[in-house]
Structure 1
Amino acid sequence: MTFITANRRRTALRPALFAELGRLVAIWRQRRALETLDDRALEDIGVSRAQADAEARRAFWDAPATWRY
């Protein structure tokens, strides 16, 4: 019996998948860090408490297209 194996493009997919997962984890961490900042730190970066809270409530997959690259 002969076995034929095909080398699919899995190797190209894995780095892209890991990069995407890493990006999503980074967004999650940034949003958690944003909600821990005090009012003085938020003032330093020019963000109001309401804006910071709204951003922190967003899901980690809900990121602007400009953050993707």
Structure 2
Amino acid sequence: MSSQIKRLSLPLSRSSRFSLLSWIGTTLAIARQRHDLAQLDERMLSDIGLSANEAQKEVNRAPWDVPSHWRF
């Protein structure tokens, strides 16, 4: 009796895989930007027109929590 090991793979089209990779890349970039925002002091935040409270609210958002016009 021979056994076969079947390779498990998601039934994603090439464009779906690209979209998934693109979404992951965008999500990581947003996380990095929010991390960088958390490092700014009050003077720097003032330069970009944000209060410390506004910046903290943005930093606390999940990386995938973005405006609807940013979504794929």
TM-score range normalised by the length of the shorter chain: 0.7 to 0.9
Q: Which residue among 6, 18, 28 is the counterpart of 1:15?
A: 18
- Of the three residues 35, 43, 46, the one matched with 2:46 is 43
State the Cα deviation string for residues 10-54 of structure 1 (Å, max 9, x = none): 211111111110110011011111111011110100000000001
Residue in structure 1 matched with residue 55 of structure 2 by the alignment: 52
- TM-score under structure 2 length normalisation: 0.76
- What is the number of equivalent residue pairs in this alignment? 62
Question: 1: distance between equivalents of 2:12 and 2:71?
Answer: 23
Deviates more, 1:28-37 or 1:57-66: 57-66
Q: Comparing both structures, which one devotes a greater share of its residues to helix?
A: 1
Q: 2 CA distance for matches of 1:56 and 1:23?
A: 16
Structure 2 Cα separation of the partners of residues 56 and 9 of structure 1: 33
For 1:68 and 1:23, the matched residues in 2 are separated by 10
* Per-residue deviation, 1:56: 0.3
Unaligned runs of 5+ in 1: 1-7
Query: Which aligned runs of 4 or more in structure 1 are off by greater than 6 angstroms?
Result: none
